[in-house]
Amino acid sequence: MLDAVDLALFAEWFAAVAEEMGTVLQRSSSSPNIKERRDFSCALFDARGGLLAQAAHIPVHLGAMPGAVEAVARRLRLGPGDVAILNDPYTGGTHLPDLTLVAALCHAGRPWFYLASRAHHADVGGAQPGSMGLATDIVQEGVRIPPTLLVHGGREVTGTLELLLANVRTPAERRGDLMAQRASLAVGLKRLEALARRHGPARLVEAGRALCAGTERAMRAALRAIPDGRYRAADVLDGDGCGARDVRIALALTVRGAAARLDFSGSSPQVAGPFNAPAAVVRSASVYAFRCLLPGDVPENDGLFRPIAIFAPPGTVVNPRFPAAVAAGNVETSQRITDTVLRALARALPGRVPAASAGTMNNLTAGGADPRTGAPFAYYETLGGGAGAGPGGPGASGIQVHMTNTLNTPVEALEHAYPLRVRAYALRRGSGGPGRHRGGDGLVRELEVLAACRAAIVSDRRRHGPYGLRGGAPGRPGRNRLVRGGRAYELPGKAELELVPGDVLRVESPGGGGWGRPRRRPRGVRAKRSGRA
């Protein structure tokens, strides 16, 4: 029987395995998107594919990764020295750039634990460099990989890797990042094997079950604190980049005692553009919002998911049918799902939930040939925005919010790796929504291209600003512009572009929503004028 001290130790040991995996992946990777921006996630799972522990990586990855591990467990029987790879959104993945590698710790001839490493690769083929363009079906988005052996018995399955690298624009970089992911799994297995030798595999299994049960109790306690009822909310994406406008996310949240049910009936039908969100992404974004109700010291594991049921009608933007394009569902629709769930929770728990944050990852991609070397390049980056204000104070400015936990690419690393020059990088002053507490400000980023390239912008909240709460005003919508030959041209939120040297892309990200009605000054009291003494 494990006591509280034992459980606390196992929680830290399991999390440390995932953290060390992430450190190895970051330090040994090739691409700036993984090395600098840390666009990756590592986690530990039980024999059924249930999450046991995770590092503090990317929320949209971690809530969706159990589906990938479950898919591997169903289709492949991993043994010692085996590594599986997958990215198929219709078989456990999220979107094609997220390549997931899975390995197993085996005992008595069968897997007892799984380890997974997911990383966003800057290009996985498809019609658009960066694999994040305005595709209208998944075939246009890149190479699609169901659960497949990448390594068998410690030996690389040459055909699998060759097939993948033959379908991408930057094979050397992809190979380097995949080898970094393999290294992260090797270290994770080494650390987990050491724990198993010290405590025995059965005790590790017992600890995992107990930790998940504890997290489940914490989540059920949080749900019991919500008044029973049915809470409705809705929000929209500006469009899908392929003709649709105001793509609706609708939610009916029902709370009964220690359980919740999320019903997304009424959401828009699946769209032609890449803004369809696979079921794993919807699950991840939904449960993340409820995770925000718990104290930070509650372990992240399968217990979070157990009290929450989700229904997303097939054929809708929140549960598309093959062959719908999904690249932006993972990065943009996930943000709007989070906004919608939090809006419903704000009705259930007024005075506790913050206003909407920027609500977009402001995705930028570009690709072509680097004139300095003649080698192909593929650039991918997301940009932060303003966080929503809350009852406790104003929102933070210029940060990645909700479903992304990445960093910016440092200017020095970006200009070293790509034929791009950063012309401006600053806060977008005044873009946060007014209120008793003001929303955080967005960012301004200007990139000059130094080589002919194809680029894409996949962003949202360009027509509808992030909502305020309790009388607070919305944040200012974002804005995209192209500067060519001294003239500025307004760009839509979703655009594919052919750029020439000297062109400048300017992205202004949204500010967060304000919270609360501004306090009125007593009659006759004048504001103090500011200025130099």
Q: Give the pLDDT of residue 529.
A: 41
The answer to whether residue 286 is domain-embedded is no
Separation of alpha carbons 42 and 193, rounded Å: 17
Q: Which amino acid is at 208?
A: G
- Residue 266 resides in a domain: no
**What integer pLDDT is reported at residue 530 of this predicted model?**
33
Taking CA atoms, 257 is separated from 217, 223, 261, 295, 307, in Å, by 12, 7, 11, 20, 10
- Per-residue pLDDT for the chain (533 aa), expressed as one digit of tens each? 789 999 999 999 999 999 999 999 999 999 999 999 999 999 999 999 999 998 877 788 777 899 999 999 999 999 999 999 999 999 989 999 999 999 999 998 899 999 999 999 999 999 999 999 999 999 999 999 999 999 999 999 989 999 999 999 999 999 999 999 999 999 999 999 999 999 999 999 999 999 999 999 999 999 999 999 999 999 999 999 999 999 999 999 999 999 999 999 999 999 999 999 999 999 999 999 999 999 988 999 999 999 999 999 999 999 999 999 999 999 999 999 999 999 999 999 998 999 999 999 999 999 999 999 999 999 999 999 999 999 999 999 999 999 988 888 999 999 999 999 999 999 999 999 999 999 999 999 999 999 999 999 999 999 999 999 999 999 999 999 999 999 999 999 999 999 999 999 999 999 999 999 988 765 554 544 433 32
Total H helices, total E strands in the chain:
11, 20
Q: Is residue 403 part of a domain?
A: yes
Q: Would residue 283 count as lying in a domain?
A: no
- The reported pLDDT for the residue numbered 522 is 54
Distance of CA 111 to the CA centre of its chain: 28
| Cα–chain center distance at 489 | 30
**How far is the CA of 465 from the CAs of 371, 474, 513, in angstroms?**
39, 6, 8
Domains of the chain: total: 2
d(CA 39, CA 32) in angstroms, rounded, equals 9
HSE of 526, CA atoms in CB hemisphere, 13 A: 3
Report the largest interatomic distance among the alpha carbons of the chain, rounded to a whole angstrom.
81
| Final residue of a structural domain among 185, 216, 247 | 216
> In which element (H, E) is residue 339 found?
helix 334-348
Q: Of the candidates 188, 216, 244, which is a domain's last residue?
A: 216
Please report whether residue 34 resides in a domain: yes
Residue 262 maps to a domain: no
- Domain holding 174, by residue range, is 4-216
pLDDT of res. 92: 85
Spatial strand order of the sheet with 98-107 comes to: 51-54, 40-46, 110-120, 98-107, 83-86, 148-152, 155-156
Pair (212, 360) in one structural domain: no
Q: Three-state SS for 121? A: coil
pLDDT of residue 251: 98
Check residue 304 and report its DSSP letter. G
CB under 8 Å to 520, separation ≥6 — which residues?
A: none
**What are the strands of the beta sheet with 245-256, ordered from one edge?**
229-239, 245-256, 259-263, 308-311
Residues 6+ apart with CB under 8 A from 473: 433, 434, 435, 513, 514
Is the peptide bond between 323 and the residue preceding it cis, with omega within 30 degrees of 0?
A: yes
Cα 130 to chain centroid distance, Å, stands at 16
For residue 180 the two structure tokens come to: 């970094």
The strand pairing partners of 103, in sequence order, are 83, 115
Cα–Cα distances in angstroms (integers) from residue 355 to residues 253, 339, 389, in the given order: 18, 9, 6
**pLDDT value at position 526?**
54
Sign of torsion, CA 457 279 513 442? negative
Phi, psi of 50 (to 5 degrees): -75, 140
Question: Of 216, 244, 278, which residue is a domain's last?
Answer: 216
DSSP string, 179-237: HHHHHHHHHHHHHHHHHHHHH-HHHHHHHHHHHHHHHHHHHHHHHHTSPSEEEEEEEEE
In this structure, is residue 529 part of a structural domain? yes
Examine residue 252 and state whether it is found in any structural domain, yes or no.
no
Burial classification of residue 522, based on how many CB atoms lie within 10 Å of its CB (0-12 exposed, 13-18 middle, 19 or more buried): exposed
